[in-house]
Amino acid sequence: MNKAKFVWDPNSNQTFTPADGNMNTPLTGPAESFNKNEGFGLNTTGELFIDVSDSGMTVWGSPTPNPPIDETVFKILPDTGSLRVASPGSLAIGEAFGDLAVKVIMEVAHANGSGDNSDPLHEREGLGISVNRVVFGNVEINISNRSGLQMLGTQFGDFSYLKIDNAKISVTGKSYCHITPNAGEKSIDIMNFDLSLSDNSWAYMDSMSFLDGGTAKFSSIATSDDDSPIFYLFDFNFIDDTYQKDLFSIVTHNGNNKGGFTFFGIGSSFSLTAFIDKRLLSIDGNDDPNYLWSRINRDSAVIYKDGNLNIRLK
C-alpha cells in the first residue's frame, strides 16, 4: 500500500520523513496554505522543499486563540533532515509585539556540511530561505551539528529583504549562518538581534542597517583553546557612522580565541582606531581601549590582509 501524500496542516504537529519526498518532489501551493499556527510545529527528518506558487504571505507562528502551547517549534533533525522554502512573496516568523506575541523556536541540526569556515560560500543548508521578503518577528534559531541557515539572493535565489524585530541565533558545532540579500542598499533592517558563534562556526552577513533604537550583539565565543569562530561582515563604516558600544564581543577560553571578525573593504589604521576608541569591541567583557590595543594582533599582514579589517587576538 502506498503511503499517503504529505499534506501541510497549519493546525497540527507534523513529521516529514524521507518517505514523504525530497528536494525533487516539492510541496506546492499558495502562500497561506503553508502557515503554521501558534502552538503547532514541524519535525523533519527528510528533505522538505516548499515551493510557494503566489506572492502572498506565509506566517509561521500565527497568533491563535487558546493554543496548545505558547511556542511554535520547528525541528530539522540529523542526519538527513532539511527544510527549504522558496517564494516570490513574504515569510513572517513569529510576532514580537503586544498581547499577540508568539515565539518560534527552530532547531537546525542537519549534519551535511564540512564545518570548514575557510570557505563560506560552499555549504549545504539545514534551513534554506529563498523568499523575497522575510520578517523575523520573534524567533530563536539554534544551529548545530555541522548544519546551517542559508538566505541568499542574487544568483542563489529570490531573497531580497530581511526585517529583524526580535531574533536570537546561536551557531555551534562547526555550523554556519549565511545571510546575503540580493544586491541593494541596506537590505537587512535590525531592531533587536543577537548572533553568537562558538567553536569553529562562522557567519557571513551583509547589507545591514540599524533601525532607530535598534540594538544588536555579535559574539565570537571560544569553548576550547583551538576554537576559531569567525564573523565575515560587510557594510560597516566605523569612521563616519555611529554604533552602539560593545556591539562586537570576543570571549576567550584560557585567554585564547583564534577567530574574531573580518570587516570587508575597510582595512586601514583609521578604521581600526575608530573601532577601538568608540569601544565597539569587548574582550571577555572589557572594552577599555588600552586593554583592546594590548590584545589585538596589529601585524599589518594580518589585520589589513586583502584590504579588510581583520580583528584577531595575539
Q: Kindly tell me if the per-residue pLDDT of 81 is higher than 50.
A: yes
Quickly count: other Cβ atoms within 10 Å of residue 186's Cβ: 14
| C-alpha cell at position 224 | 576550547
- For cell 535565489, the residue is 157
Quickly count: other Cβ atoms within 10 Å of residue 296's Cβ: 22
E-only strand ranges, 188-301: 188-198, 202-205, 208-221, 230-233, 248-251, 260-263, 281-283
DSSP letter (8 states) at residue 121: T
Contact 136, 164 (CB under 8 A): yes
Q: Nearest-CA neighbor of 147 among 72, 201, 228, 102?
A: 201
- For cell 515569510, the residue is 91
| C-alpha cell at position 54 | 503566489
The pTM assigned to this predicted structure is 0.92
Beta bridge partners of 219: 196, 249
Q: Kindly tell me if the per-residue pLDDT of 119 is higher than 90.
A: no
What does the pLDDT read at residue 186? Answer: 67
What does the pLDDT read at residue 265? Answer: 97
pLDDT digits (tens, 9 = 90+) for 264-309: 999 999 999 999 999 999 999 999 999 999 999 999 999 999 999 9
Average pLDDT of the chain, as a whole number: 90
State the amino acid at position 86 in one-letter form.
A
pLDDT digits (tens, 9 = 90+) for 186-196: 699 999 999 99
pLDDT band at residue 115 under the 50/70/90 scheme: very low
Mean pLDDT along residues 119-130: 68
What does the pLDDT read at residue 50? Answer: 96
pLDDT band at residue 169 under the 50/70/90 scheme: very high
Residue 155's Cα: distance from chain center in Å? 19
Alpha-carbon torsion, ordered 92, 52, 171, 264, to 10 deg:
-90
pLDDT digits (tens, 9 = 90+) for 29-65: 999 999 999 999 999 999 999 999 999 999 999 888 8
Q: Nearest-CA neighbor of 231 among 120, 116, 140?
A: 120
Contact 248, 280 (CB under 8 A): yes
pLDDT digits (tens, 9 = 90+) for 10-22: 999 999 999 998 8
- Whole-number Cα distances in Å, 26 to 46, 75, 85, 198, 253: 12, 19, 9, 33, 44
Q: What is the C-alpha to C-alpha distance for residues 130 and 88, in angstroms, rounded to an integer?
A: 8
pLDDT digits (tens, 9 = 90+) for 198-220: 999 999 999 899 999 999 999 99
| C-alpha cell at position 136 | 523575523
% the chain with pLDDT above 70 = 89
What does the pLDDT read at residue 103? Answer: 85
Q: What are phi and psi of 82, to 5 degrees?
A: -155, 155
Contact 61, 102 (CB under 8 A): yes
Range from 100-109, 205-214, 216-225, 234-243 carrying the lowest mean pLDDT: 100-109
